[in-house]
């Protein structure tokens, strides 16, 4: 089984832009076009293509953000965007890719926690994140989404 997490480059940009979720999921996550625009405005965002057996199957955007609070003197690592393309959903790739992303972020940032935010009515994503040990921490992000954290 071959999983790769590759930065967005000029070579894969068009393929990344062609990724999309099912229409029932559009209200839960930004398009890759919006994500890439956000990444040009914020230096902390790292957009990436998710590849399985050499084929682009999904997208993630993550980063270390220098938020300082009592628990996080060294900032926070956020898995800010994550989805599997509509054509590849329902095949177990979400679990495989999330597991790979957790390991990738833990190694890349040498962090103890990974944060994400979610609309609580996004049931499928919520179940996936809970399966991997993410729990609500009582915070809301600037969009009103509930913040979840995974202790590593």
Within 13 Å and on the Cβ side, how many CA atoms surround 138?
A: 0
Catalytic residues: 129
Rounded Cα distance, 108 and 40, in Å: 21
Place of tokens 């990344």: 16
What lies within 8 Å, CB to CB, of 60 at 6+ separation is 5, 47, 48, 50, 79, 81, 82, 83, 97, 101
Rounded Cα distance, 46 and 105, in Å: 11
CA angle 115, 67, 77 (to 5 degrees): 30
Task: Put the strands of the sheet holding 46-52 in their side by side order.
Answer: 3-7, 46-52, 55-65, 76-84, 113-118, 146-151, 135-140
């Amino acid at each position: 089984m071959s999983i790769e997490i590759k930065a967005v480059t000029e070579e894969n940009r068009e393929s990344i832009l062609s990724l999309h979720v099912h229409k029932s999921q559009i209200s839960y996550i930004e398009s890759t076009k919006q994500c890439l625009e956000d990444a040009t405005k914020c230096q902390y965002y790292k957009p990436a293509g998710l590849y399985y057996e050499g084929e682009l199957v999904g997208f993630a955007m993550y980063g270390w953000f220098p938020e300082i609070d009592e628990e996080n003197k060294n900032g926070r690592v956020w898995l800010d965007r994550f989805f599997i393309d509509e054509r590849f959903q329902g095949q177990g790739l979400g679990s495989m890719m999330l597991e790979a992303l957790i390991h990738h972020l833990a190694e890349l940032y040498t962090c103890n926690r990974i944060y994400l935010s979610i609309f609580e009515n996004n049931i499928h994503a919520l179940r996936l994140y809970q399966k991997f040990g993410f729990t609500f921490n009582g915070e809301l992000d600037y969009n009103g989404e509930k913040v979840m954290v995974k202790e590593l």
